[in-house]
Structure formats: C-alpha cells, structure tokens
Amino acid sequence: MNTLVCTEPGTFAYHTRPQPVPQPGEVLLRIRRIGICGTDLHAYEGTQPFFSYPRVLGHELAADVVAAVPGFAAGEAVTLIPYLNCGTCVACRAGKPNCCVHMQVCGVHVDGGMAEYFTVPVAALVPGQGLGHDELALVEPLAIGAHGVRRAAVQPGEWVLVVGAGPIGLGIMEFARIAGAHVIALDVNEQRLAFCRAHLGVAHTLNARSADVAGQLAALTGGDMPTVVIDATGSLGAINQGFSYLAHGGRYVLVGLQKGEISFSHPEFHKREATLLSSRNATRQDFEHVIASMKAGLVRPTTYITHRVPFGQVPAEFDSWLDPATGVIKAMVELG
C-alpha cells in the first residue's frame, strides 16, 4: 500500500508498505479522507513539541471498515478517536483518557493514517451514523473545540472571546454558540474573520492588530470584559496577551499549544481570582456531541473545506497550506 511519510521537517516521501494485518482487538480500515490540521502543519515545520521523525501524519480520519468486527459491519463509514490511552493511569482511572499519562496520538507519537489502510483498536472507532466521509473527517477537530468549551463550562449569555480563527478556533466558536454564549472572534487575518462572519454567523470580530483591543472588548461587553477567553492560536505572544482580556472571576482556557513558557502578571491574575485551564484532545462524549450537533443541523462542517487534493498530490500542495494568503481553512485529502 502507498504511505506518505514526513521524513524530516519540510520533507515528505511516499513509501510502499505491506497492508497492515489487524491483531486481536483491532480493525482494518480503508482510509477515505484525511483532514490537515495545525498539528500536521507544525510537524512539517518542525515546531510540534511532541514530535519525532520519521512519522506518518494523519489523525483527522474518515474510513470504511474492511471486514466486520463486533459492532461494525464491513463497508461501514466511521471516524475514530486517535488518542490511544493506556486505560490504567491516574487520568484514565479518573475518566480522562484524553490526557493519559502514556498518551499515544496517531500521527504524533505513533504513525497516523496518511496511508491507504490503517489499523486501530476497535474501541477507538466511532460510528458514522449516516454522515458522509467529509463530515466524519471533521468530527475530531470539532471535538477538540467542543472539549475546550466544556472545560470552560460556558453558560448561556456569557461573553466568550475565541483567540484564533483557524479550524480549531472555528469549532470553539460553534460550540460556544451552541452553549448559548455571545461569541467574539479575534485574529490577525481579515480573511478568516470574514469567514467567521459569513459562514458561522459570528457578529463580533476584532483584528488583533487594531488599536486598543482591550478597549473594544470592554465596549462590546458593557465594560465587563469576556468571562471566558479561549486561545486556539498556539502563539506565545497571543497566549500571554490573552490574560489582559479576561473579566474578573473569568476562565482562561488554553487549547493552542506552543513550546515555550507563558508569563503573566501575578497581581493582575490574582485580583481577578481567575482560573487558568488547559484543554487537551477530546473524549468520546465530545465526539458524540459533535456528531449529534451535525445531525441536528447545528453545525455545517463541510463549509470549512476550502482546499481538496488527491492523496498522490499532497507533497506538491502542502507548502501552500502554510501560507495564510492562500485562504486555507481546512484542506482535505481524498482517497478512493
């Protein structure tokens, strides 16, 4: 089978490998769609903190089951939870497999699904429930956003500032809206802010490079500032700046990830009695929430797909997806 390997930062190569043979408790999948996310882009750039080379990328996957396994028919369209957890560590025992001590994320710690066939534990499968391959490949990134909103415990009527209007940020905006919040999008890219207005119905968008962002936020929120700030940039500067946008008593959730150390004024944070949270991956509960929201028409994920490419042309296109000028929101790799 054909497999695409990121051999080192900035380099892809196709390798021919034997079709994998599922072991007991595993299932063989025929990959149909691979969504390209920030983790893939950062891995290609060499800036992903949990990454080693060579590595097969790909964790936003839609696939067909090759041979029936308990609970799934041959040919059934599925997605999967790509976070392989140990099941026994302190986090797993507490019902938080998404932050397992021994986490192995497909396409990051272990090889992912950028191949024609892929095996995973049957327990990782998520039924497609009639959704198409495009939709199923977008469940995982949307689940990341849904999990961040759940971590923030967003309440109806709250002002939620989402910093970063990439695919993960868009998912956060969607599920904050579904939770009943007033959403504000903040980004440096006017194209992406326009996308938020046109496709997500986000009424309040701010350019992070404009003068007095804090003042604009205060004006929007009646002087209170957002009670929830969620970072989806992974930018050190944006993360550090986000502390100044938080209301007294507010919650700051870091979904974006970067390699360095964050810094903030302890007195300013302390006087707010603020809460700082990280949000890692997602749980089956989040995946199910996303699928239910898609089926109910609350989220239209295929509007996010701005670029499509056949599997055999990924290396020729990948560099362009690093350039914001191309207007990429979600690139989708197609197989079969």
Element (H, E) at 280: none
Q: What does the pLDDT look like over 189-213, one tens digit per residue? A: 999 999 999 999 999 999 999 999 9
For residue 274, pLDDT over 90 is answered with yes
| Domains of the chain, CATH where assigned | 2-137+300-334 (3.90.180.10), 144-278 (3.40.50.720)
Q: What does the pLDDT look like over 15-48, one tens digit per residue? A: 999 999 999 999 999 999 999 988 898 889 887 7
Average pLDDT of the residues in 298-322: 94
Q: DSSP E strands: which ranges in the chain?
A: 2-8, 11-16, 26-36, 60-65, 77-80, 83-84, 104-105, 117-121, 125-127, 159-163, 182-187, 204-207, 228-231, 251-254, 275-278, 305-310, 330-334
Q: What integer pLDDT is reported at residue 124 of this predicted model?
A: 97
Average pLDDT of the residues in 256-270: 92
Question: Percent of the chain beyond pLDDT 70?
Answer: 100
* CA-to-CA separations, 183 to 8, 165, 187, 205, in angstroms, rounded: 39, 12, 13, 9
For residue 96, pLDDT over 90 is answered with yes
Regarding predicted confidence, which is higher, 39 or 96? 96
Quick one: how many helices (H) and strands (E) in the chain?
A: 11, 17
Whole-angstrom Cα distance, residue 55 to residue 112?
8
Average pLDDT of the residues in 46-68: 91
For residue 56, pLDDT over 90 is answered with yes
